Amino acid sequence: MGGANNICSDKTGTLTMNKMTVTNVYIGVDKEVKVTEPTYKFSDYFQNAEHQELFKQAISCNTIGSADSASATEQAMLIMMKKLGVDVEVERKKHYLDPQIRFVFTSKRKRMTTVIKNVGKTDFNHDRRAHIKGAAEIVLDCCGHYLDENGAKQPITDGVKK
């Protein structure tokens, strides 16, 4: 250790066990997830059906693998879906295009994007939606609006981004 400049410790197990857990969700307001609970209820985190549906789509369709075989980040999200009682494979079958349109995560792009179908009414009168996940600053640069805690579309401001 005589040549060490930095010593990192890991209290949560992220580094030592390659495990992550979703601890907060932002739905117009920041909500803390009750991580010690064996199951979750959508009503504890989402005030309306649109938030619930968007959340199910985003995680189910814009992840690769399963709660057992995905990357640590995606496993955390997929485990949350499992605790919410969502069958990810059913959601994927409902929404995936054939052929699937997906731009996988790369360190250069710092994001992953999946286009899905059967999303219901949209502002653009088509039945498609693109879900993006990745580095917060990259994803936020792709957004012009967000849904507030009541499900109303709001312009994204610098204050909201922070």
To the query of whether residue 148 is one of the catalytic residues in this protein, the response is no
Higher pLDDT, 160 or 91: 91
Q: Which amino acid is at 9?
A: S
Best-predicted range by mean pLDDT among 3-12, 27-36, 92-101? 92-101
Q: What is the mean pLDDT of the chain?
A: 88
Asked whether the predicted pLDDT for residue 43 surpasses 80, the reply is yes
pLDDT at residue 10, rounded to an integer: 56
Asked whether the predicted pLDDT for residue 157 surpasses 50, the reply is yes
CATH of 16-161, one of 2.70.170.10, 3.30.2320.80, 3.40.190.10, 3.40.1110.10: 3.40.1110.10
Q: What is the mean pLDDT of residues 82-102?
A: 96
Asked whether the predicted pLDDT for residue 4 surpasses 80, the reply is no
* Run of H or E residues at 161: helix 158-161
Asked whether the predicted pLDDT for residue 105 surpasses 50, the reply is yes
Tokens read off for 66: 């399963």
Asked whether the predicted pLDDT for residue 81 surpasses 90, the reply is yes
DSSP 125: S
* Contact in structure between 78 and 96 (CB atoms under 8 Å): no
Q: What is the mean pLDDT of residues 26-49?
A: 91
DSSP 138: H
What gap in Å lies between CA 132 and CA 114, rounded to an integer?
A: 7
Asked whether the predicted pLDDT for residue 1 surpasses 50, the reply is no
Share of residues in the chain with pLDDT > 90 (%): 62
Q: Which amino acid is at 114?
A: T
What gap in Å lies between CA 130 and CA 103, rounded to an integer?
A: 10
User: Which candidate, 116, 113, 87, places its Cα nearest to that of 99?
Assistant: 116
Half-sphere exposure of residue 73, counting CA atoms within 13 Å on the CB side?
A: 10
Residue 46: CB atoms within 10 A of its CB come to 21
pLDDT at residue 79, rounded to an integer: 95
- Structural domain spans, the chain: 16-161
Asked whether the predicted pLDDT for residue 13 surpasses 90, the reply is no
Asked whether the predicted pLDDT for residue 145 surpasses 60, the reply is yes
Tokens read off for 13: 């197990």
